[in-house]
Amino acid sequence: MKRLLYIVLIVLVFSGRNNIQAQTPENWPDASHGVSIFASTLLGAFTPVILSYDYLSHGNRVHVGFTTGLTTTFCEGAKYEQLGGHFALTLMTGMSNNHFETKLGIVYNPFILYNKSDYADWAFKYIPVVSLGYRYQKPGGRMFYRIALSTGGIGAGTGFIFWTDNRLPASGIWTEG
Low-confidence ranges of the chain (pLDDT < 50): 16-23, 168-177
Q: How many domains does the chain have?
A: 1
Is-contact 146 101, C-beta < 8 A? yes
Domain-embedded: residue 171 = no
Is-contact 159 133, C-beta < 8 A? no
Domain with 51, as residue range(s), is 24-165
What is the model's pTM? 0.73
- CB atoms near residue 177 (< 10 Å): 10
Q: In this structure, what are the phi and psi dihedrals at residue 89, rounded to the nearest 5 degrees?
A: -85, 140
Domain-embedded: residue 174 = no
Domain-embedded: residue 93 = yes
Domain-embedded: residue 132 = yes
Q: pLDDT tens digits for 120-166?
A: 555 567 889 999 999 999 988 899 999 999 988 999 999 999 988 87
- Where residue 109 sits, what CATH number does that domain have? 2.40.160.20
